[in-house]
Structure 1
């Protein structure tokens, strides 16, 4: 449990580090009008905060910087949300007051606006990822070794995917396999087909279908929906201007991640409903272990339609980003409600 003085000093260090990207010393903290403690007192408290894991000291003679634990405590207990400025709010209201012809246009524009307002990378996932479900799956043999899977979605889209029949698996077993998939997965969003196929019906398949493990591997590729046109990214290069990304290898790893659409979809869609803040290693992906991801879902009548995310350094303006995402998600929900009437 931190004392009030430690909380004040930790908050001041996080705020200064967000602005400067430089380690923060006791003297600079003592000069702040809202602190009121001597440099010696602040140094002692900073040392205690470091021992508790809330601060780190990059170099012996340098000041301190917040650790992941420090950022987490700051976001959970000390953060004061920044008010959305009048110009920003007016821009949001004027944009969402318009009714554009295509949902994709709206989502792309939202991604662009968020990136511009925050100077971070924005990722927006639209309604199709959550709403498009499996209606029917059929398999038609082409030869003794190959077949075509026909996937019909709830939107009426039909996709054909040719696959190689696993050696030794007769067509009758494939038909039983497909019948079980149709019975158990019809109405499931395409986004969740693969995980449900393994986690929820794997045991049933093992009881009724011989060679089911080989078929699972084949159909994993069949139901792996291409979502590249359903996730929108803006400001990928803005992160390169941040001091944390001077390392060439770090930049390369980050940009490679942004090119992997399925990984991005999994990253964004795995966030729980509502507003969530994941700091550093909480993101689980090594490529963004030094980043923070803030996501907000938008919903209509209790049903989640999409997710808006901001990806930036752990030295992020949390108050401003959270404030913007709260406004964007609410306005997106209102607009989508008009759209789906």
Structure 2
């Protein structure tokens, strides 16, 4: 159990290191307005905090810096809401003031504004395309052997799928197939298409359209892919301006993580919804040991969820980032609801 004096020294140490990125010494802390203790008293308490694992030294002659345990204690016990400035609020509100028809535009601009305000890298996972509903299906022949199937969703997303067309299939048969597919798929989710296409195929085969089997098989293989959750960055390279990432190995690790994220977006998704703060090794990825990730959840459409993640060094300004995320996720959820309800 930390004493009140130790709590104050730990909090001021973390706050100072967040602002300066420089190891904190006892004499430096004693000059703080809120610190009523002498350098000798502070030095002794900092040594005790180091023994308990809340602080650590970078090398023998330096001051001390927060450890991962220190940051975790700080985040869990010492954070209070940060008052956003009027200019910050105005900038955030500008994202939602423009008229839009596309949710992706809203998400992308939100990522950029958050990156600008925090000086960290922002990542947003857009909605899972497979949860969009089909607005229209069409097919445009390219040659005698293939065509492009075009699927437009209720969110304005367009998918183009190359489909093989056997030479014996007549144009009127293809048109009939498109008409039949449209009558069944409009209003359904994208992830439901393979099953629906199978039913339509069986129906047409019974109507002596067996030549269309190869077309359906090609089309089903194309639309049967998994989640297409988009990774949208704001300030992708901005984090490299932080002094921690002048270390080439840390910078390389961060680039490696971003590459992995493109292939596996759900790496940043926390185990539970709401606000999540993962510090250093809590990220369960060796490449992210020098980073903290704060993730918040926003909602859209029919009970769907997306994630906003801000990646910074472990000494990130947790209080300010959490306040910004809290503000943005509320407005974003409301604005996305408007967009989806207008479809």
TM-score normalized with structure 1 length: 0.72
Provide Cα deviations, 1:11-46, integer angstroms capped at 9, x if missing partner: 000001011111100001111111101111111111
Are positions 1:281 and 2:281 aligned together? yes
Between the aligned partners of 1:337 and 1:124, the Cα distance in structure 2 is 17
Provide Cα deviations, 1:259-286, integer angstroms capped at 9, x if missing partner: 3344551222345211111110111111
Q: How does 1:42-53 map to 2 (within 5 A)?
A: 42-53=42-53
Matched-pair contact (CA < 8 Å) for 1:293–1:310:
yes
The secondary structure found in structure 2 opposite 1:236 is: coil
The secondary structure found in structure 1 opposite 2:305 is: strand
Unaligned runs of 5+ in 1: 135-149, 163-185, 191-218
Matched-pair contact (CA < 8 Å) for 2:55–2:64:
yes
Matched-pair contact (CA < 8 Å) for 1:300–1:337:
yes
Q: How does 1:88-167 map to 2 (within 5 A)?
A: 88-128=88-128, 131-132=131-132
User: Which residue of structure 2 lines up, in the alignment, with residue 17 of structure 1?
Assistant: 17
User: Which residue of structure 1 lines up, in the alignment, with residue 323 of structure 2?
Assistant: 323
Q: How does 1:32-51 map to 2 (within 5 A)?
A: 32-51=32-51
User: Which residue of structure 2 lines up, in the alignment, with residue 75 of structure 1?
Assistant: 75
Alignment CA distance shift 1:58-1:189 (3 Å): farther
Between the aligned partners of 1:236 and 1:323, the Cα distance in structure 2 is 21
Q: What is the Cα deviation at residue 254 of structure 1?
A: 1.2
TM-score normalized with structure 2 length: 0.71
Unaligned runs of 5+ in 2: 135-148, 165-187, 193-220
Between the aligned partners of 1:283 and 1:332, the Cα distance in structure 2 is 26
Q: Report which of the two structures shows the higher radius of gyration computed on alpha carbons.
A: 2
User: Which residue of structure 2 lines up, in the alignment, with residue 3 of structure 1?
Assistant: 3
Alignment CA distance shift 1:284-1:97 (3 Å): same
User: Which residue of structure 1 lines up, in the alignment, with residue 184 of structure 2?
Assistant: none
Matched-pair contact (CA < 8 Å) for 1:132–1:153:
no
User: Which residue of structure 2 lines up, in the alignment, with residue 65 of structure 1?
Assistant: 65
Provide Cα deviations, 1:229-250, integer angstroms capped at 9, x if missing partner: x220121211111111112222
The secondary structure found in structure 1 opposite 2:94 is: helix
